[in-house]
Structure 1
Amino acid sequence: MTRRAFYPGSFDPLTNGHLAVLDQAMRIFDEIVVGIGVHPAKKPLFSFEERAELIRRAVDGINQAAVVSVVPFDGLVVEAAGEAGAVALVRGVRDGTDLDYEMQMAGMNGAMRPEVATLFFPATPETRPITATLVRQIAAMGGDVSRFVPAHVAEAIRGKRDPQ
């Protein structure tokens, strides 16, 4: 039996924190469906297609046997997980604030789809302070984000900031 998980997020941009969570999930599940939230009212730094490609490139560097695919979604995370055939939602937790929020979401998701469990993966010490929002803000102000994202993502961010 294939164990499939759904890892939702904006991934705008993909950070080393996202990858640390994905690496942990890949040790447990046979398949991970990365769900990129796509909301027409939001203006992301990267398009869905760009984010999907950045994730695929990053996954190529992770030495795990799990199969990773990337899909867009625009509704409820738990519904997207069900549509993907996932038995679990993967969520990263950096601190107590994240845990409080994620516990509320897990409770609501569990009430809507009890067959989809929520699993929390702790941030690694080096990735704990990283958020995609902070990475975007640092990049927008001309700062170096290379310590917080994979090298190919840092390059893509520089390309957005300094288009040729």
Structure 2
Amino acid sequence: MKKIGFSGTLDPITNGHMWVIGEARSLADEVVVFLSQNPVKQPQFPAEERKQIIEQSARERGWENVQVVIVKSDYTARVAKKHGADYLIRGIRTTADFDYENLIQQTNVDVLQGAKTIFVMPPRDLGSVSSSFVKALEGPVGWNWTMKKFVPGPAYRAWILSWLRKEWDGLWEHAGAAVPAGLIDHWFEHLTSVQAYGGAERHYHNLDHLVHGLCEIRAWAANTQASQHDMDTVKKAFWFHDALYERDEAALFSNEEASAQLWLGSSLDAGATAAAVAELIRATDHFQAPAIDHQLKDVMLSVDLAILGQNDEVYLAYTHAIRQEYAHVEEPRFREQRQLALIQLRAKAEAGELFGDPYFAEQYNDKAIDNLTREIDALDAGRQGS
């Protein structure tokens, strides 16, 4: 078969969609993705951006024989024939899917004289994956780690950047004209770029970390009836606390102090508000933290440590990311230093002092002890085996 088509809104494209495209590649020399631009629907991303995401996802897998065509105000089956595709391919997950797709197939052929349809059945692990399923994951703490399993990398990155943009803009809505729109745009682009959390070498202190922390802050505020002002103050600090992350031991300032200075120089806030945010950023520096007295210090530190109390899958991903971030450290030294740090953290958790804020202590302390113990044991076994 020379050419086969695959159609859909693909908002976002999922690993299930990618599997169907992969099946199409095994049947034809060329695959055309017909991307529907339906004016009735309100997609997360405009058609042109979805097209770019699909193209990037295909390139990421080395698929050079996949092209994307945006369909505007026409039937996909008819457009497919115009592009030389006599067949469309569709994934069938359930009998309900078959009944619906069979009706569409009959309409495409009998009424529209368009392309015929080939049905394929996805593997069990992708059987429930759809765009609507993925969209429904957004919101609660950890949603990004879950979504990451079901969409290709470019779709995931686009989605969390969209989510982060809404979070960022929400911080300044109440400020009115006090903060120029250009300044807001500039700092969002900077913080999410390769210069900060979007950097390729940011294996842990990256966009994932940023999304997770902001969700933790939102959950804390909702469950403790914290004021909007307090929530925004912690969020601003979290946006900047790891903005600068260098490994230069000869640097004049610590990463946290450099990030605090970056915040103070941003002109996003001024006066006492700016100073309060800077103090919270400094609170994440274990050298400066003991001297800092701020009513939200325990919250800020707890948000930063919340990753220690996550489920097994997320915690394992975190430990792998930390190792990648310290890839420049030789294995024996890394194991030794990491184990010492974890033993100190576990001792604090066992003493009830790891999470200074009661909400986080209740949520994560017991699980943190389990996670830390498991990693300490694994590091110890690795040291003995080396």
- Please report the TM-score for the alignment, with normalisation by the length of structure 1: 0.90
In the alignment, what sits opposite 1:69?
Answer: 67
Residue in structure 1 matched with residue 179 of structure 2 by the alignment: none
In 2, the alpha carbon distance for the partners of 1:140 and 1:47 equals 21
Partner of 1:147: 149
Amino acid across the alignment from 2:159:
I
Moved segments of 4+, more than 6 Å:
none
Which aligned pairs between 1:1-164 and structure 2 lie closer than 5 A? 3-63=2-62, 67-73=65-71, 74-113=73-112, 116-140=115-139, 143-144=143-144, 145-163=147-165, 164=188
> Aligned to 1:91, what secondary structure does the other structure show?
strand
In 1, Cα distance between equivalents of 2:148 and 2:59: 19
Q: Is the 8 A contact 1:3 1:87 kept in 2?
A: no
Q: State the distance in 1 between where 2:151 and 2:164 align.
A: 18
On the 8 A contact 1:30/1:67 being kept in 2, the answer is: yes
Alpha-carbon distance in 1 for matches of 2:25, 2:89: 10
The structure that has the greater radius of gyration is: 2
- Taking only aligned residues, the RMSD between alpha carbons, in angstroms, comes to 1.8
User: Is contact 2:57-2:153 (8 Å) kept?
Assistant: no
- Once the two structures are superposed, residues 34-73 of structure 1 have per-residue CA deviations (whole angstroms, 9 ceiling, x without a partner) of 0111022322101111111111111113355x62111111
> Would the aligned equivalents of 2:78 and 2:114 in 1 still touch at CA under 8 Å?
no
The answer to which of 100-109 and 136-145 deviates more is: 136-145
User: CA separation in 1, counterparts of 2:45 and 2:18?
Assistant: 17
> How far apart are the structure 1 equivalents of 2:124 and 2:117?
22
Cα deviations by residue, 1:125-159 (Å, 9 ceiling, x for unpaired): 11111110121121255622111101221111111
Q: Which amino acid aligns with 2:69?
A: V
Comparing 112-121 with 49-58, which one deviates more in the overlay? 112-121
Bigger drift between 138-147 and 148-157 goes to: 138-147
Deviation at 1:116, TM superposition (A): 2.5
More RCO (CA 8 Å, sep 6+): 1
* Distance (Å, rounded) in 2 between the aligned partners of 1:99 and 1:24: 18
Distance 2:133 2:44 in 1: 13
Moved more, 131-140 or 14-23: 131-140
Counterpart secondary structure, 1:109: helix
Q: Which amino acid aligns with 1:59?
A: A
Moved more, 22-31 or 102-111: 102-111
CA distance 1:94–1:117, change in 2 (3 Å): same
Q: Closer, same or farther in 2 for the Cα pair 1:140/1:77, shift >3 Å?
A: farther
Unaligned stretches of 5+ residues in structure 2 = 166-187, 189-386
How big is the shift at 1:113?
5.0
CA pair 108-56 structure 1, distance change in 2 beyond 3 A: same
Larger relative helix fraction: 2
In the alignment, the residues of structure 2 paired with residue 141 and residue 78 of structure 1 have an alpha-carbon distance, to the nearest angstrom, of: 39
Q: Percent identity?
A: 27
Distance of 2:104 and 2:139 partners within structure 1: 31
Distance 1:162 1:63 in 2: 29
Amino acid at match of 1:155: R
Matched residue count: 162
Aligned mates of 1:126, 1:4 — CA distance in 2: 28
TM-score by length of 2: 0.40
Q: Shift in Å at residue 88 of structure 1? A: 0.3
- The 2-side partners of 1:111 and 1:158 are apart by 42
Shift of 1:75: 1.8
Indicate if the aligned counterparts of 1:6 and 1:84 stay in contact, CA closer than 8 A: no
